[in-house]
Amino acid sequence: MAIPIDQKEATTVKVNCWEFKKCGRQPGGHKEKELGTCPVTIHGDLDGAHEGKNGGRACWVISGTLCKGETQGTFANKYKNCEICDFYQRVRKEEGPNFVYSIVLLGKLRKK
């Protein structure tokens, strides 16, 4: 389900979770005032992970994201839901053998 840049090219556009989910919790987003700024959009520790902006392509390891309209807790509490998320599955597929596993991403968070 990758978004082709051009039908002639096999290249895909790698989007961040807030772009894919259209949650509106990014800075300046339509739901930011109502629901608050999503920590993923400003979490610089994971900037560049899976070629995303801030935590935008590693949202499953960051606390405080939304799932089905509810704020989620820690990685340990939310990961089972994240594993079946369409965005998580998209990132896994797009990254293929370059997918960075959650344990590595969590390690980057803990070093700060």
Determine the structural domain holding residue 13 and report its residue range: 3-100
- Domain assignment present for residue 111? The answer is no
Q: Is 75 helix (H, G, I), strand (E, B) or coil?
A: helix
pTM of the model: 0.85
Q: How many domains does the chain have?
A: 1
Please state, in angstroms and rounded to a whole number, the distance separating the CA atoms of residues 7 and 29. Answer: 30
pLDDT attached to residue 11 = 57
Give the pLDDT confidence score for residue 1 in this predicted structure: 46
> Residue 2: what pLDDT?
53
The pLDDT value recorded for residue 13 is 84
Give the residues of the chain that fall short of pLDDT 70.
1-11, 111-112
pLDDT of residue 8: 43
Does residue 106 lie within any of the structural domains?
A: no
The reply to whether 105 falls in a domain is: no
